[in-house]
Amino acid sequence: IKISKSYKLASRDFHPDDTIIEVKGVKIGGDNLVVMGGPCAVETPEQIDEIARLVKAAGGQVLRGGAFKPRTGPYSFQGIGVDGLKWMKEAGEKYGLLTITEVMAPEFVDICAEYADIMQVGTRNMQNFDLLRKLGTIQNPVLLKRGFSATYDEWLNAAEYILAGGNPNVMLCERGIRTFETYTRNTFDLAAIPVIQQLSHLPVIADPSHATGRRELVETMTKASVAAGANGLIIEMHTDPDNSATGDGVQSLFPDQFANLLKELEQLSPLL
């Protein structure tokens, strides 16, 4: 693929080897497959503790959970805030998991980085350039989700902002894009995985939960992501997704589905 590139540090031309991000002994990138699992949002200390236990038992390495939630409407649950960061850190330490949480504004980067290992930039903030610049000033790994209407070039340029600021620890997350199709929440751009790996050395993580918006599609699209070469997965899981989840229940796996899926991935990965 020949396109004129305006990004440099994110490009494979500039950095031919795969970037491997190491966080507390967990390697992200290269031949490793990292699994991040957890609820859309941190809800209570008991909820995040129990889900952390289940993520660890299933073989996951990273606990996901939003304490600050970017909701489409202002009256929807906006997240627990700083207490949620504290509960998630406790749960992560208790079960030996890394943690990832979304940061929405530059002024919250320092507090999120104090409590969580990996900083998530959501699809709605992919081109929040002030946020990206601020994330360039820390060393915590950043998972940069693709904007739902962003081209590969725009996405890689967003990564470039963080890299250019001095933080080399960036991973890219395909979470589905907006198309004319409405059956699925978003349209999963599976080809983004090999394309981005060709254009860039940065790890590529797939999010089959937001990409489909439907629990019954998550298993298949997880396997498809691994077959396409994803370096990792971020999957929503909840103990009571149909009743008590504050958001994204319909796309969240039940704990046993999550555990079975990870078991199947173990059998699948040597074949790929």
| Contacts with ligand PEP, residue ranges (CB under 6 A) | 40, 66, 70, 122-123, 145, 175, 210
Q: Which does 252 bind (CB under 5 to 8 A by kind): ligand PEP, Mn ion, none?
A: none
Of the two residues 123 and 222, which places its CB atom closer to ligand PEP in the complex? 123
Report the partner that residue 65 touches, choosing among Mn ion, ligand PEP, none (CB closer than 5 to 8 A by kind).
Answer: none
185 binds, among Mn ion, ligand PEP, none (CB under 5 to 8 A by kind): none
The dihedrals phi and psi of 160, each to the nearest 5 degrees, come to: -60, -35
Which residue, 9 or 113, has its beta carbon nearer to ligand PEP? Answer: 113
* Nearest approach, Cβ of residue 76 and ligand PEP (Å): 11
Cβ–Cβ < 8 Å for 142, 125:
no
Q: What's the CA angle centered on 135, arms 206 and 78, to 5 degrees?
A: 70
- Judged by beta carbon, residue 66 or residue 141, the one nearer ligand PEP is 66
Q: Which residue is nearest to ligand PEP (CB)?
A: 122
- How far apart are CB 8 and ligand PEP at their closest, in Å? 26
Q: Compute the least distance from the CB of residue 71 to ligand PEP, in Å.
A: 8
Q: What are phi and psi of 233, to 5 degrees?
A: -135, 145
Q: Which does 70 bind (CB under 5 to 8 A by kind): Mn ion, ligand PEP, none?
A: ligand PEP
Q: Which residues would be at the binding site for Mn ion (CB under 5 A)?
A: 40, 248
* Residue nearer to Mn ion on the CB measure, 70 or 168: 70
Quick one: 9 or 135, whose CB is closer to ligand PEP? 135
